Amino acid sequence: MSTIKMTNHGGSRKGAGRKPKSGGKTVVKRIPASLVGEVDNLIVQARTETKVPMDAMFPSKNPIELLIPLALEKIPAGFPSPAEPYIAEYIDFNKYLISNPAATFFARSGGQSMLDAGIDKDDILVIDRSVTPKHRDIVMADLGNEFTIKRLHKFPDGRIELHSENSSGDYPNFSPKEGDTWAIVGVLRFIIKDYR
């Protein structure tokens, strides 16, 4: 008569397998080999600099100069005036919108909390991380688990608040407290809208 020896092999075992790194749960993603270096650089940048949204867009490292004619006459928003066919100069939006390419990125507005400031959902926001934020600037802030666009208020007693600007809804302000994890990512420089 033979005996069958029972072993506890195979299947999952408590505590087995790779341990999660300090960053939390990991995932595997496949990317083209040509992008590995760029992704590695983005990871290093994300660990050493202020975070930016994952879907942020960055200016080209080799922008193509594109000169757009700028009319000599200002166009009145009130009463119409005869159009003058004169061109004052040409502008290149790479230079006009971006004063510091290494510190500039673009992000789409994700909501309507700043509607009264002229920022609609899906507007492209030009954010400059090299600009020192001043009282009443519109800033992008990292609140630890989310990004937000708000009006910066600096008070004489040192308090800072981030205010929403939409009178048609209940959009909260943010008042950082002692121990809160948050940072100002950059200052809004321009808004690019689609009016159609």
Residue 127's DSSP bridge partners are 105, 188
Distance CA 54, CA 42 (A): 10
**pLDDT per position as a tens digit, 54-91:** 778 888 878 888 777 777 666 667 666 555 566 668 88
| C-alpha 40: how far from chain center | 19
Distance CA 151, CA 187 (A): 10
Task: Kindly tell me if the per-residue pLDDT of 5 is higher than 60.
Answer: no
Residues 6+ apart with CB under 8 A from 112: 120, 121, 166, 169, 171
Q: If we measure between CA atoms, which residue out of 162, 144, 143, 142 comes closest to residue 152?
A: 162
Of 9 and 98, more confident: 98
- Catalytic, out of 5, 150, 154, 168: 150
The HSE-up count of residue 94 (CA atoms within 13 Å, CB side) is 12
pLDDT at 163 (0 to 100): 96
Report the Cα–Cα distance between both ends of the chain, in Å, rounded. Answer: 85
CATH 2.10.109.10 given to domain 34-192: yes
- Catalytic, out of 113, 121, 154, 193: 113
pLDDT at 22 (0 to 100): 45
Residues 6+ apart with CB under 8 A from 121: 109, 110, 111, 112
Distance CA 104, CA 27 (A): 29
* 8 A C-beta contact, residue 58 and residue 32: no
Distance CA 75, CA 2 (A): 99
Distance CA 52, CA 112 (A): 20
| 3: its two tokens | 């005996």
Of 89 and 44, more confident: 89
113 is catalytic: yes
Of 154 and 85, more confident: 154
Distance CA 145, CA 40 (A): 22
